[in-house]
Structure 1
Amino acid sequence: MGAVLRLSALSPNIKDRLDFSCAIFDARGRLCAQAAHIPVHLGSMAYAMADLVSGREWAAGDLLVVNDPYLGGTHLPDVTVVAPVFREKDLMGFAVTRAHHANIGAHSPGSMPVSTHLEQEGLVIAPTLLKREGRWQIPLCRRLAGLPEEQGNSQPPMENLRFGDFAAQASACEAGARRLSELALVLPDLEQAFDALNTYGEKRARARIAALPDGEYRFEDVMDDDGQGQQDIVIALSLRIEGDSAFLDFTGTADQVAGNINCPLSVAAAAAYYCFRCLMDDDVPACDGLFRPIGLYAPEGCLLNARRPSAVAAGNVETSSRVVDVVLGALAQAAPDAIPAASQGTMNNVAMGAAGEQGWDYYETMAGGAGAHAGGAGLSAVHTHMTNTLNTPIESLESHYPLRVLEYRIRHGSGGAGVFCGGDGLVRELEFLAEAQVTLLTDRRRSAPWGLAGGKNGAVGENRHNGRLLPSKTGFAARVGDRLLVASPGGGGYYDTKRK
């Protein structure tokens, strides 16, 4: 599925950066298999898919599309396409893709605005059929392409760049559905096999959690700001390990804010699931059973369980990264040798472009430093934790967009000091060859990635426009010849250098 999506997508965001994920679910919406794609996509799908697919009359050839964060999505650019899988007339499961679309119709290019309301962030797609029994729903196709619905014809606008990526997702889902349908024909006990897989996954997860000492472990960290004036926004966790189960209580977390770092509970769940998955051996299957021993609560209306229509564009990318830091910080008290220091703690979101007939949309997340650990130094210049994408290669970036890359290097010395040093971040400087509207959604510009066991903190990041220091979340108009520099944070160090 991932290969089909990558090779048929049109945008660099999907075909070069690989900002997409693919997974298989059973007929009840329980995760059965996933590709090694993006944790925030996959964990949130695992959390929300059962509610999304239940209570619907599915038919062969249907394709469902949705991006509503409050109905199983994450943020609006991440669009989910779901294909049901049948064996004759029996529903066997679902093939699912989720991909990040750089243009989902937001008020600013790149569809990652400094927003205060969900509607400012682009087109909100409630669960809707993109195909009904194999037939494209042309008005919706044209709407997704940003075209007038009433001028449609009998064919979807395949030549349209925006719709081309939706068509690629559809193809990937249909490829997965065909393969799973073929498997169902030769394996009459496929449903029992799914059940057995999840039972085994649960057994392995419970065994790993049972190896942790019982107790209650508390940790808290902060988001720098919400882009609307509120700073040092607390995420608090009380983690209880009891036997072979874990419960995460985020009571004490700040209320939802005016800016767009809020997130639905599914995103917080994805971050928590990811942290526990990292504790397990590589051969443990990524399935619904892994998450059954893990309970989670966040008060309704708080930063991690926001109410509609709170803005959420940065919650999926920035707040999820901080939830990982908080969960790992608590787990480090229970399993100190198994948990690394904090990694960069941000995805360094850069979005830009221009409107009009010759308009363009560019979006990228930037790598940074990984936290050091008991076994060695952190990696430098890597995407960490909740993102698992690549960079846009310089050749692709410069051929698709009116930009020139002036500098792209490792930010030496940005990793935290220690017996094992944190990984270093990156420096990337762009020159604008055309006017553009730019949005930055970043974090760890005030609060540094923390070290462990006496290791020092990593360096905070920086954003600069023509040398002038910028806030962590901001938008501005760039003119021809302007320069944008983003320096990503380093990871935290491990062990005090004076440790004997």
Structure 2
Amino acid sequence: MDPIALSVFSSRMAAVCEEMGAVLRRTAFSPNIRDRLDFSCAVFDADGGLAAQAAHIPVHLGSMAYAMAGVIRRFDWQPGDMVVFNDPFLGGTHLPDVTLVSPLFVDGERVAFLANRAHHADIGAVTPGSMPLSTTLEEEGVLISPVRLYRAGRRDEAVLQRIVSRTRNPRQAGGDFAAQASSVSSGVHRLQELVGRMGMSEFRAALAALNDYAERLVRAALVDLPDGRWTFTDYLDDDGQGQQDLPIQVALTLDHHDAHVDFAGSADQVRGNLNCPLSVAAAAVFYAFRCLMPEQTPACAGAFRPITLSAPEGSLLNARHPAAVAAGNVETSQRVVDAVLGALAPALPDRIPAASHGGMNNLAMGALAEDSPWDYYETLGGGMGGGPHHRGRSGVQVHMTNTLNTPLEALEMAYPLRLRRYALRRGSGGAGRHPGGEGVIREYEFLTPASVTLITERRRHAPWGLQGGAPGAVGENRLNGELLPGKVRLEVAAGDRLTVMTPGGGGWGGS
């Protein structure tokens, strides 16, 4: 294709995803989707290969790209169908991330699929916020194997009720599902318009050209990297069930224009919920390499062709059903990025930054009283690692998440909470020629009794520095001033105060 026409086509495809996201944000009921923007939207080709995505959440998008083809093959698709699923072992990530996907047919022929994935703060787990300290998948909420939510445009009420009846607030859950369905439908209509303007043959040719272009860009970027094999090991603090210092071991092989990442030697799957399906590990690997690619590289399946990975079955990064996986998506994925970047650092000393805060600092909470139910979940930012050419940013989300912080006004308006303090954690960034960014301090006062679950990392193993830079400070969690474990479930009374202090980023270069 003409390069200008191809660029315009790529932008139009991405715009479809952006519009889907705008519809979802404006129609969702829950602050988790509406305010934190914990969702992602994408377009896939007729066989489930990634065709385009919005700049949403890497762990959502990379895992969908890795696993959507398997979901597509499970159904005899018809116009107006819409499938819902969250099964981590069949293309999902963890149970709160629920995916809706619908086909686009033009003149009776299947052309593409439109999908979104959104985090539901209540998916019926054993504790409010649906991020429990679980040991089995069953404890994490309702498991949705891929099933039709809509058939020929008509919603299957029995399927919807089976899901929302397990939640503490079925009305809000139903509203979020309706918002997701509206978002997908808007994408179907918008892409149908695009195909109608282009014509079927030109659309398919453009999609093939886009994938080939992405592959050429990635292979050209890999050629510029030094050939060789590099290893690195990083550690997760603990699984919340007594197992500590869990290794994520990477062997990275760069061979001219191909890259392979092998996780042999990483920890076996654990009793706690740091396990993840291979699709989540793949999302982290794809993200790490995407950071090395030219900015104009299209986000499509062609970009992933030169990159492969492997992890032993039954390991932390390729867990077997029914392993608990709630935190694998949010914490283990972040440590995979740290390990891959750590392996790349000797090969690319002038490009790789020090470790960032290395987690999502997960906080889930909700009502103890059944007559006034509420569920809330949020992730907190921290310090970004300093790099060869810049100091780290402070108080930001990094790597596998791309959500916003919940504005304190929205938090206090929706829930019986008061935010007493929200500030940068001065002195938490690692020292260096380019210091790491600062973590944050966020202090909550509970106005009613509540259940609270914390799943946090980098409370034992600090974010590492590079090239002589100092590590960032580890994080801390405190209830009424008393130090808490990194992973804990507790009940709080009205007037109690919870303070989360997130890690800083590592420093780069000797100061």
Show the counterpart of 1:183. Answer: 194
Show the counterpart of 1:357. Answer: 371
Which segment is superposed worse, 427-436 or 135-144?
A: 135-144
User: Does the 8 A contact of 2:385 with 2:507 survive in 1?
Assistant: yes
Show the counterpart of 1:324. Answer: 337
User: Does the 8 A contact of 1:369 with 1:425 survive in 2?
Assistant: yes
Unaligned runs of 5+ in 2: 1-19
Show the counterpart of 1:253. Answer: 266
Aligned counterparts of 1:237 and 1:119: Cα–Cα separation in 2? 30
Unaligned runs of 5+ in 1: 149-157
- The alignment status of 1:169 with 2:183, answered yes or no, reads no
- The alignment status of 1:30 with 2:43, answered yes or no, reads no
Mapping for residues 295-374 of structure 1, pairs under 5 Å: 295-354=308-367, 356-374=370-388
Aligned counterparts of 2:374 and 2:496: Cα–Cα separation in 1? 17
Aligned-partner residue type, residue 137 of structure 2? L
User: Does the 8 A contact of 2:85 with 2:92 survive in 1?
Assistant: yes
Secondary structure of 2:509's counterpart equals coil
Secondary structure of 1:160's counterpart equals helix
Aligned counterparts of 2:371 and 2:75: Cα–Cα separation in 1? 40
Show the counterpart of 1:271. Answer: 284
Aligned counterparts of 1:193 and 1:165: Cα–Cα separation in 2? 34
User: Does the 8 A contact of 1:107 with 1:122 survive in 2?
Assistant: yes
Aligned counterparts of 1:247 and 1:208: Cα–Cα separation in 2? 15
User: Does the 8 A contact of 2:123 with 2:166 survive in 1?
Assistant: no
Aligned-partner residue type, residue 18 of structure 1? L
Secondary structure of 2:282's counterpart equals helix
Question: Cα deviation per residue 1:247-289 (whole Å; 9 max; x = unaligned)?
Answer: 0000000100000000000000000000000001211111111
Mapping for residues 95-244 of structure 1, pairs under 5 Å: 95-146=114-165, 160-188=171-199, 189-244=202-257
Q: TM-score, normalised by structure 2?
A: 0.94
Aligned counterparts of 2:166 and 2:388: Cα–Cα separation in 1? 54
Show the counterpart of 2:459. Answer: 445
Percent sequence identity over matched residues? Answer: 59
Aligned counterparts of 1:357 and 1:103: Cα–Cα separation in 2? 16
Aligned equivalent of 1:377, options 372, 391, 399: 391
Show the counterpart of 2:16. Answer: none
Aligned equivalent of 2:36, options 17, 25, 30: 17
Secondary structure of 1:80's counterpart equals strand
- The alignment status of 1:480 with 2:480, answered yes or no, reads no
Secondary structure of 1:241's counterpart equals strand
User: Does the 8 A contact of 2:452 with 2:490 survive in 1?
Assistant: yes
1:193 CA displacement: 1.2
Aligned counterparts of 2:400 and 2:486: Cα–Cα separation in 1? 19
Aligned-partner residue type, residue 118 of structure 1? L
Show the counterpart of 1:390. Answer: 404
Show the counterpart of 1:470. Answer: 484
1:181 CA displacement: 1.3
- The alignment status of 1:2 with 2:15, answered yes or no, reads no
Aligned counterparts of 2:205 and 2:428: Cα–Cα separation in 1? 51
- The alignment status of 1:456 with 2:470, answered yes or no, reads yes
Q: TM-score, normalised by structure 1?
A: 0.96
Show the counterpart of 2:14. Answer: none
Question: Cα deviation per residue 1:207-249 (whole Å; 9 max; x = unaligned)?
Answer: 1111100000000100000000000000000000001000000
Secondary structure of 1:64's counterpart equals strand
Which segment is superposed worse, 447-456 or 159-168?
A: 159-168
1:159 CA displacement: 8.3
Aligned counterparts of 2:162 and 2:76: Cα–Cα separation in 1? 24
Aligned counterparts of 2:350 and 2:177: Cα–Cα separation in 1? 44
1:338 CA displacement: 1.1
Show the counterpart of 2:300. Answer: 287
Mapping for residues 54-133 of structure 1, pairs under 5 Å: 54-133=73-152
Quickly say closer, same or farther: Cα 1:406–1:187, change in 2 above 3 A. same
1:335 CA displacement: 1.1
Aligned counterparts of 1:195 and 1:64: Cα–Cα separation in 2? 26
Aligned counterparts of 2:253 and 2:339: Cα–Cα separation in 1? 14
Aligned counterparts of 2:198 and 2:263: Cα–Cα separation in 1? 43
Secondary structure of 1:350's counterpart equals strand
1:147 CA displacement: 6.5
Secondary structure of 1:42's counterpart equals helix
Aligned-partner residue type, residue 448 of structure 2? A
Aligned counterparts of 1:191 and 1:72: Cα–Cα separation in 2? 25
Quickly say closer, same or farther: Cα 1:270–1:477, change in 2 above 3 A. same
- Number of matched residues? 488
Aligned counterparts of 1:388 and 1:290: Cα–Cα separation in 2? 20
Aligned-partner residue type, residue 173 of structure 2? R
Aligned equivalent of 2:61, options 32, 35, 42: 42
User: Does the 8 A contact of 1:370 with 1:380 survive in 2?
Assistant: yes
What is the Cα-based RMSD across aligned positions, in Å? 1.1
Which segment is superposed worse, 33-42 or 280-289?
A: 280-289
